Each structure stands twice: as C-alpha cells, then as structure tokens.
Amino acid sequence: MRFEHWLYTIPLRLRSLFRRNRIEQELDEELRFHLEQRIEQEIADGKKPEQARYAALRAMQGLDQRKEECRDTRRMSLVDDLWRNLRYGVRGLKRSPGFVATTVITLALGIGANTAIFSLVDTVMLELLPVKAPEQLYFVGHSPQRVSMTWNYPDYRAMRDRNTVFTGLAGYSLGLEPIGIQAGNATELSSGIFVSGNYFNVLGVSAALGRAFNDADDRAPGASPYVVLSYSYWQSHFNGDMQAIGRKLRVNDYPFTVIGVAPRGFAGADVAYKPDLFMPIMMRSEVLHIPFASWNDRHNWWMAAVGRLKPGASIQKAAGELFSICKHQESAERRSLANPQLANTADQVVLEPAARGFSYLAGQLKKPLSILFVIVAVVLLIACANVANLMLARGATRRREIAVRLALGANRRRVISQLLTESMLIAFLGGACGILVSLAGIHVLLRFVPQSGSQLVNGINATLDWRVLAFTVTVCILTGLLFGIVPAWQSTRPDLVRPLKEDVPGSTATRFTLRRGLVVLQVGLSLPLLVGAALFARTLGNLRERDTGFAPKNVFVASVDPTRFGYTGQRTRDFYDRLCARTAALPGVRAASLALLTPLTGSSWNGSVTVEGYTWKRGERNKIWLDAVGPRYFDVIGTPLLLGRDFTDLDNPATAIELPDHIVPGQQLPDQPGRHVAIVNETFARHFFGDRGAVGMHVAMGGPFRNSYEIVGVVKDARYFSVRNAADSMMFIPVWRRFAAQRELVIRASGSMPQLSDLLRRQIHELNPAIPLLNIRTLEHDVNESILVERLVATLSGFFGILALLLSAVGLYGVVAYTVTCRTREIGIRIAVGANRGSVLRLVFQDVIAMVFIGAAIGALVAFVATRAVGSILYGVTPDDLVSMIGAGLLLVGAATGASFIPARRAAKINPIVALRYE
Amino acid sequence: MSKPSDLVQGTLDLLILKILALEPLHGWAVSQRLKQVSGDVLQVSDGSLYPALHKLEQEGWITAEWKTSDLGRRAKFYSLTRLGRRQLAKESANWDRLSNAISHVVRLQES
C-alpha cells in the first residue's frame, strides 16, 4: 500500500521539484482552458463577451489565490520553499547592499571571534588523544602544595612494577629533547622524547609500520638503541619508505636502528609537543650524555607517568596504593642514607583523567580560555541584538510589501519562513566572513601561546577542523534564529494589514519598545565586558610593575650546548668559560656570566637540605630552590647583593667534576676538593636564621655530596618561578660546583639583539665551527612570556570590550535616529510653540538616559556577579574594584552620548514648517 | 450557487473520484458532469474544483495526462488510479454509513 502510494507520488514530487516552470505553465493552461469554456458557456447563455469574462473570473473566486492553493497541494514545501525563499532572499538582499554589508560585518566579527576562540578551546581542551579507550587513562601526579605531574625514575619504576590497579603504567620524559640527527657531516636539529617499554602498549597504540617498544626495551641501560619514528618524520625524512625499518640513524652521534613508525596523528600523551622520535628511556645516557645515576635518582624530577586503570578499580584506591608504594620508597632511601633527613619525602598521590592528554598549556589556559569564550559569546549576543534591530527597522520599511503579500493569499507561515530564510542567509554570509576573520584571529591568538622559545616545539596547532566548522555552522543557525525570529514574527502580525490603508510613522509602538529593549540589553551586556576588561588590564599593569628582584632591561640569555657535540667534563667547562670571557670583552657588553637556570623560564631545580641550627617543623618540606651561577651573575641580572660577597672563579673546583656513568644507589661519591660556598636569598636568611645573620652558617645538600656549604653572601629576593608569587627560600652555588653540563650564557649589554647575536655567533664559531647558537633572547622576553596568559586575557578582553561598546553605540544610534524621524512632527510642533534647542535636546537625551541607565543598572548587577568568577586570575585588584567600575561606566556614558549626539542635533535643527508639512 | 462549505466535509473528493471512475475527464467536464448528473443540485464552484483535483493527484488517487479534447484543444485529463479506486470504495462505504445514520435520525417519529 505504502509502496504503491510512493509509486505515484515520488515522480510527482520530483517533477514539482525540478520542473517548476513547466508545472506553472501547465497550471496556467489548465485554468485558462476552464475559463475559456466558462466564457463560451456564458456567451451561449446570452451574455456580452465582457460580462461573460467577468462572470467567469468571479466564479473562480480569485484566480491567483486558487493557483496558490493548487501550488500548496504539491507540498514539496521543505525543499521547494527553501529554494524559492533563497532565490527571493538573495534578490531582496541584493536590493539593499548597505543593510547586508552592515549586518554581515557585524556578524562576521561576532562569529569570527567565537570560531577563533573555539578552535583554541577545541585543540587545548576538547580533542581526545588518538588512542584506545582514552577515558581509562589517568595521569599520576603528586600534590605537595600544588599538583605536580613530574616524577623521578625510581619512584615511577616502583609504582609501575608493584601496583595492582593499572593494566599498565607508562612513563615518558616531559617536554621535548632537542636532538641532533647526523647525516654525513651535517647535523639536523629535531626533537624526541624518551618512553618506557610499555608506553605504546599502555596507550593502546600499535605501530603503523614495524614494531613499537615492549618490556624488553626497559631491561638495561644502553641495551636498546632503537627508535620509533613519528608518522610525519617518516613522511618528511624517509619519504614514507616501507623499507625504513632496520635503517640506521645517528642520534646525537649515537647509532640507533629504526624499528617502527608511530601511527598517523599520534604525538604522545602531551598535547603541546609533537616529537619526531620516540626512544627508550634506557637510552637517555647515550643520547643526552648524562650519567644513569643522575636520571635514576629520587631527587631528579624529569618524567611523567600515565596508566590505564583496570576496569572496576577506583581512583581513590589506586591513589592510596601508589602513595604507599612511594612511602615505601621513602623509607628505603632513609635507610640507605647516612643522614635520613635528606631522603625525598613521598607526597600524596593524585590521579587526573588523561583522555584529552596532558598539557601544561591546557592547565594554564583552561580558565582564561573559558573566560574568553564567555566574552565572545556575549559579544555575539550584542552583535545579534544589533542585527535584530536593523531587521526590525527593515521590517518597518517593508511592511507594505509584506502586507501586500499577505493580502494576495500568501499564508503567514510562508512569509515568516521567507523572512527567516533571509535571516539565515545573512547569518551564513556572516559566518563565512567570520571564518576568514577567525583565520586571521587564530594567528593573533597563537602569538600568545608559549612556544618555549624554540622552533623545536611545534606547539599547539589550532586549525579549522570539522569540529570547528560544525561549531560555526551551529552558531550561524542559532544567530540566524536569534536575530531573525522576533522581527519576522513582528512584521507579519495580522494587524499590519493596516499599513495598506494608512502609513503613519510612529504607529508601531510595540516594535519600538522592542528596539529599545534591545538597546538596553546591549548596554547591560557591554558594561560587564568593560568592567572585566578594566580589571584584566589593571592586573596586567600590576604584574608589569611588580618588582621582580632583577632588572631585565638590557639583559640577554643565550643557549649554546657543546655537550650535544661530544663535549664532557673539563672540555665543556673550558668551552663555556672561554666563551664567557670572550663575550665579556665584546664591545657594548658590560658583564657576562653563566648560570644553570635564569628567572622565569619555567625550569626549576630543588633539593633537600640540612641547615645548621635549624630543625624542620612538622609537615614542612625539607626542600629549597637551587641554582648554580657564575661570578658577576647577580651583577648581570641586576639583583643587588645585600650582605657578604659575590662568587669568584676560585669558588669553583680546580677541575670539572665528572660523575661515573653508573653508580649503585646510596654509593658515596668522591669528595669534591676545595671550599664549598653558597649565596642565599633574603627569604632563606630570614626563614632559617632570623636575626642571627646567615653569613658564615652552613647548609648541607642532599644527593651524593657530603660537604656542607658555607654561606658567604645574601642577595635580594628575585622571583624565579612566577611574577605573581613572592620568592621562596633559594640557594645559589658556584656554577661548576656540580658536574659540568649545559649552562646558559647571561649578558648585560647595551647593543641590539641582532648586533649581539652576530658577535656571539662569531665567537662560538672561533671556538668550534660545528657548534650552533641555539637561541638568544632577552630576559624581558622571558618575563613577558611568563605573564602571557594575563596578557592574552587583558588584550583580548580589552579588544572585545571595545567591540561590544562600538556595537552597542551603533545600536543606540540606530534607535535614537529612528525616534527622531518618528517624532519629527511632534518636535516640529514643540518648536513651533516655542520650545528652544536645549529643551529639544533634553527631550531626545531623556530617552537615551533612560535606556542607558536601565541597561547600566542591569549591567552593574551582572558585572558584580560575573567578576567574582574571575577573581582567581586577578592580581592586585579585587573584583569589586571601584576604579574599574567607574571607568567602564564613564566609557559607556561617553559612547552613548557620542552615539546619540548626531540624531539629537538633527532633532534640534528641525524646521517646524517642513516638519508640519511632512506626510 | 453552492459553496464548498455547503458540501459535507470530504464529499467533494468522493464526488470527483466517482465521476472520474466512469471515464477520464478534464476539470471543466468534471464540473459540468457533476451538475448534470445531480440534476443541478450539486454544483462545485470553479474556485474549489482545481485545488481539490490537484490534491487528489498529489495523493496518488488520480493521475493526469494532457490530451486533445473533442473540441480539438489540449486539456488536462484526469483518470482514476488503482489507489484511487480503493479510496473510492472506502469513501463510498463511509458515505453510505453516514447517510444511513442521518436518514435514521431524520425519520424518527415525533411523539
């Protein structure tokens, strides 16, 4: 039955869809035939031809209405109407290019902003790892004060081998290791990470080609010189050759064999980093030239752990079990040490979902991105209000046309769908332009995403993928409905048939209230954005002016690393010392020094210590921050020496220390000759010694060194890890006191960056032409990078706040201009009976003040609630900061006055005679 | 002139289907035939005939074909489909039931 029905109807539907013209013709012909027959009959009945024709048409009860009824029966409405509506809409829009341009630009800004922010949100927070069942994966972290995801190798290995809650616990090195790949005489820089043997297995990723690592690759240090290539590296460097397996690769001059290729799109569990090579953790010493003892140390935190939770295992139980394993590790270390106080305390273990991968960035950007996402949504809402306002105005000018169509038999539903199609058309045009806007916007946004100062990090790669496009399309549809539905409903109201008979401007009171309501809404939404922008701007300002304890102006930090080119021990030290001496002698250079760490790079070094005359309080962590710096380092970065003396070259051991490649944990290392001295910061001195004076006191360091350090100087506190937080206790030791490895060159110079980097390159080249200058940056750059998130939020919220203000001003202008036009007659009469310019202006501004006041009152309320949610990222201001509130309010009032001034002046200039003749 | 609203809801469809069951006809002929067979009692207005015909066509109950009429003019001839025949049977039965019921009510004796 149903099938037979379709047999007849489907061809008909298709015909009405594709043969529209022909069907129209046939309908016309059919009805004409009928009319002619009727006329003939009437004539036969004795009527005159004219009368007969009239009678025939009357019998039809309106030819066009009947035709429309016939068309209605075809019911291809969905597709058919859409097509017709589209064509009609395009024609309609072509007639008003000004309207289209205004609305499309408005929407493009709104939708573009949303697409840009969403694409970042998408990459940073939504994208799932391309692995098997990602929801079962958890990162293991620990929580001293803040949650840290960093682990040391012995504890990781203990957790991996002894836990009963994971099907597997994988480990990998954090961040990317810069790696030199040797081909012939040339060295090409690429990047790699070190992974445990079970890494691919735990993530549920199998090799696209060859094999991935397995437990055998974890067995012994140096025993598995195998490398798995990333898919893109295989494509770019091996041309996707299937024969790549088994090929040799010299990684930092150590021979490796390619055993596999990772699947396409897989870049590990760390979203921000895309390594070229995966290597077994067991090969760290061979590649990085650091001894096994150094990275297999409970005090060396360099890796992350991710596990696949067994079905049914609870997170609490897992965390509890891992904590007890770490506790066990702690007591084992206590037993092995002469001074048990130096043992590394086990922290509470926490598990965090890993389905979206780990990213330092994601954690850092989550809150700011959420804030920005809300901000751009509000901007889009304001843009929608503007477009709706314009649509209402357009509806007003079109109500004759619409009334005619309604009178001619078009039903209301059809006219509404026609108007909505037009809105959709505008929305999608806006969306298409919005995508262009967002493409530009993404680049601006990415400038704010830390790239770790190195091209080695591919960083976050925000692009327009299908999710972003789906988001944009959804936003387009929603905006189209949002700004389209009310105007469409308004302008097709049945009583609007009236305009056919009369056309009195100002007879549209309800619509007008609606337009004012929209302006109030815009004002109400703009104010919180402006307040927020002001708060974020003040936060950024406060951070910028913060005394960091060092003077970053004119300070440069250069990275050179001879250890990647086979330098070890004394050779490394000589290289750096010579380079430092040559640099200090360069023109324009005031001083140069070396350091393990410079401020605000995101790197840190801490260690357990015993302090003379101090007993640790219960629950206090026996750790302090450390750095190894050369003579004149404090001069270079501009940290004042408060007491005692600076380091000299004589504070370093006579020859560089080299650790043995393999040491048994707990084994005592040979004593380092020479006097051990240290410099501490103010907080250290105050915390451990109070008023007793730090100089001359002793500090013993944990780890393999037994000699205690004598404090010879105290420096001012410097903020090494965050501009926001006050400095913690920190101790500096001479730059070569520990074993010789990579150091940073710090320079105070008056020259420009290109000048200095040129001079520096020449010096390095003279020392060894094979060694490149990896990176040179200003210390100011590092400071700026460290407040990047605040800069991102402050800049963008400021931009969007101004955008919202402009959109609202345009909306207000439109409404005021419209009021003045509508009240021309009234104002004319007022002027005619003696009102002066001032009172006319007052008349107009009364209206504006009412709208702005109501809007601002609502806005202030919204701002009061909304700013509380962002309190945690503010610095130096409170959410109810009066300056920001008043500033935002003044800006709003200024913009409103500006926007209404032009129409108000026009009102005041109305010529009563012209106004009264109007109409 | 009787308006469509004078006809019981849905009866216009029944009448058209019945008339087309006898022979394929164009719209004008349908209106004339209806008038003729009902002895001028039933008249369908020109205005409502065509929407009704088009609706029946879209339902798949009648099908249209352009042919030359006896007067030598091209006209759109409608004829019943198999579906239409079934629909006619169904609607006739309905009509019988309805008219019988109404007759019964009307013939009730007043006491």
| Interchain contact, A74 vs B58, CB within 8 Å | yes
Q: What is the C-alpha radius of gyration for chain A, rounded to an integer number of angstroms?
A: 38
| Interchain contact, B83 vs A69, CB within 8 Å | no
What pairing do the DSSP bridges indicate for beta strands A254-261 and A226-229? parallel
CA distance A848 to chain B (A): 54
| Interchain contact, B66 vs A72, CB within 8 Å | no
A180 near A324, Cβ under 8 Å? no
Summarize the confidence of residues A896-913 as an average pLDDT: 86
Q: Which residues of A touch B82 (CB under 8 A)?
A: 4
CA distance B58 to chain A (A): 6
Q: Is the pLDDT of residue A20 over 50?
A: yes
Find which of A12, A16, A23, A30 to mutate to test the B interface (most B CBs within 10 Å of its CB): A30
User: Which pLDDT belongs to residue A443?
Assistant: 76
Of B47, B81, B83, the CB nearest to A62: B47
| Interchain contact, A59 vs B57, CB within 8 Å | no
CA distance A18 to chain B (A): 16
A169/A836: higher pLDDT = A169
Q: Provide the H-helix boundaries in A768-869.
A: 779-786, 788-822, 824-832, 837-868
User: Which pLDDT belongs to residue A328?
Assistant: 93
A649/A786: higher pLDDT = A649
What digits encode the pLDDT tens for the residues A93-106? 888 888 888 899 99
What is the extent of the structural domain holding B38?
A: 4-106
| Interchain contact, B75 vs A30, CB within 8 Å | yes
What digits encode the pLDDT tens for the residues A128-142? 777 888 889 999 998
User: Which pLDDT belongs to residue A688?
Assistant: 93
Q: What is the value of ipTM here, to two decimals?
A: 0.85
Summarize the confidence of residues A58-64 as an average pLDDT: 82
Residue of B nearest to A15 (CA): B58
Residue of A nearest to B4 (CA): A61
User: Which pLDDT belongs to residue A639?
Assistant: 96
Q: Is the pLDDT of residue A319 over 90?
A: yes
B36 CB near a chain A CB, below 8 Å? no
Q: What are residue A316's phi and psi, to 5 degrees?
A: -65, -45
Q: Is the pLDDT of residue A703 over 80?
A: no
Burial degree of A917 (CB within 10 A; 0-12, 13-18, 19+): exposed
User: Which pLDDT belongs to residue A78?
Assistant: 58
Question: What residue type is assigned to position A649 of the chain?
Answer: D
Between positions 51 and 70 of B, the ones with CB within 8 A of A are 51, 54-55, 57-60, 63, 66
User: Which pLDDT belongs to residue A318?
Assistant: 93
Residue recorded with tokens 């000018």: A397
User: Which pLDDT belongs to residue B2?
Assistant: 38
What digits encode the pLDDT tens for the residues B33-70? 888 888 777 777 888 888 888 888 888 889 888 888 77
Summarize the confidence of residues A328-333 as an average pLDDT: 90
> ∠A864-A866-A869 over CA atoms, to 5°?
115
Q: Which residues of B touch A73 (CB under 8 A)?
A: 51, 54-55, 57-58
User: Which pLDDT belongs to residue A836?
Assistant: 85
Q: Which residues of B touch A62 (CB under 8 A)?
A: 47
Q: Provide the H-helix boundaries in A163-230.
A: 199-203
What pairing do the DSSP bridges indicate for beta strands A641-644 and A708-715? antiparallel
User: Which pLDDT belongs to residue A801?
Assistant: 93
User: Which pLDDT belongs to residue A576?
Assistant: 96
User: Which pLDDT belongs to residue A21?
Assistant: 81
| Interchain contact, A4 vs B75, CB within 8 Å | no
Q: Which DSSP string do the residues of A225-238 spell out, in sequence order?
A: -EEEE-HHHHHHHH
CA distance B38 to chain A (A): 19
User: Which pLDDT belongs to residue A62?
Assistant: 80
Of B46, B54, B74, the CB nearest to A38: B46
Residue of A nearest to B77 (CA): A30
| Interchain contact, A73 vs B54, CB within 8 Å | yes
| Interchain contact, A59 vs B58, CB within 8 Å | no
Q: CB within 8 A of B108, min separation 6: which ones?
A: none
What digits encode the pLDDT tens for the residues A838-859? 888 888 888 888 889 999 999 9
User: Which pLDDT belongs to residue A916?
Assistant: 72
Summarize the confidence of residues A504-523 as an average pLDDT: 71
What digits encode the pLDDT tens for the residues A788-816? 788 888 988 999 999 999 999 988 888 88
Q: Which residues of A touch B50 (CB under 8 A)?
A: 30-31, 34, 66, 69-70
- Residue B8 domain flag: yes
Q: Is the pLDDT of residue A706 over 80?
A: no
Q: Which residues of A touch B90 (CB under 8 A)?
A: none
* Residue count (chain A): 919
> Other CB atoms closer than 10 Å to residue A90's CB: what's the count?
12
Question: What residue type is assigned to position A840 of the chain?
Answer: V
* Residue count (chain B): 111
Q: Which residues of B touch A70 (CB under 8 A)?
A: 50-51, 54
Of A60, A69, A74, the CB nearest to B46: A60
Q: Is the pLDDT of residue A476 over 70?
A: yes
| Interchain contact, A33 vs B63, CB within 8 Å | no
Of A5, A9, A70, the CB nearest to B51: A70
User: Which pLDDT belongs to residue B7?
Assistant: 57
Interface of A with B (CB under 8 A): 4-5, 7-9, 12, 26, 29-31, 33-34, 37-38, 56, 59-62, 65-66, 69-70, 72-75
| Interchain contact, B54 vs A61, CB within 8 Å | no
A790/A533: higher pLDDT = A533
Identify the weakest region by mean pLDDT among A169-178, A410-419, A863-872: A410-419
- A406/A767 Cα distance (integer angstroms): 88
> Other CB atoms closer than 10 Å to residue A913's CB: what's the count?
11
* pLDDT interval class at A453 (50, 70, 90): very low
| Interchain contact, A5 vs B83, CB within 8 Å | yes
| Interchain contact, B46 vs A29, CB within 8 Å | no
Long-range contacts at A55-64 (CB < 8 A, ≥ 24 apart):
A56/B46, A59/B45, A59/B46, A59/B47, A60/A31, A60/A34, A60/A35, A60/B46, A60/B47, A61/B45, A61/B46, A61/B47, A61/B48, A62/A409, A62/B47, A63/A31, A63/A35, A64/A408, A64/A409
| Interchain contact, B76 vs A7, CB within 8 Å | no
Question: What residue type is assigned to position A46 of the chain?
Answer: G
Confidence (pTM)? 0.70
Please report, for the domain that includes residue B37, its CATH number: 1.10.10.10
What digits encode the pLDDT tens for the residues A499-511? 555 444 444 455 5
Q: Which residues of A touch B73 (CB under 8 A)?
A: 33
Find which of A12, A26, A57, A73 to mutate to test the B interface (most B CBs within 10 Å of its CB): A73
CA distance B53 to chain A (A): 9
Three-class HEC string of A331-375: HHHHHHCCCHHHCCCCCEEEEEECCCCECHHHHHHHHHHHHHHHH
Q: Is the pLDDT of residue A782 over 90?
A: no
* pLDDT interval class at A669 (50, 70, 90): low
Q: Which residues of A touch B59 (CB under 8 A)?
A: 9
Q: Is the pLDDT of residue A666 over 50?
A: no
**Paired residues of A177 in beta bridges:** A192
Summarize the confidence of residues A866-880 as an average pLDDT: 86
* pLDDT interval class at A45 (50, 70, 90): confident
Of A12, A38, A66, the CB nearest to B50: A66
| Interchain contact, A7 vs B60, CB within 8 Å | yes
Token pair of A706 as six digits: 């037994």
What digits encode the pLDDT tens for the residues A673-699? 778 899 999 999 999 998 888 999 999
Summarize the confidence of residues A197-205 as an average pLDDT: 93
A662 near A696, Cβ under 8 Å? no
> B109: which DSSP letter?
P
User: Which pLDDT belongs to residue A449?
Assistant: 61
| Interchain contact, A31 vs B50, CB within 8 Å | yes
The domain tally of chain B equals 1
Summarize the confidence of residues B92-104 as an average pLDDT: 88
Question: What residue type is assigned to position A54 of the chain?
Answer: Y
Q: Is the pLDDT of residue B9 over 80?
A: no
Residue of A nearest to B76 (CA): A30
Residue of A nearest to B63 (CA): A8
Residue of B nearest to A37 (CA): B28
- Residue B111 domain flag: no
User: Which pLDDT belongs to residue A152?
Assistant: 92
Q: Which DSSP string do the residues of A295-345 spell out, in sequence order?
A: HSSTT---EEEEEEEPTT--HHHHHHHHHHHHHHHHHHHHHH-SSGGGSPP
Domain boundaries, chain A: 2-75, 134-355, 364-545+788-917, 562-661+670-770
| Interchain contact, A12 vs B60, CB within 8 Å | yes
A467/A672: higher pLDDT = A467
Mean pLDDT of chain A: 84
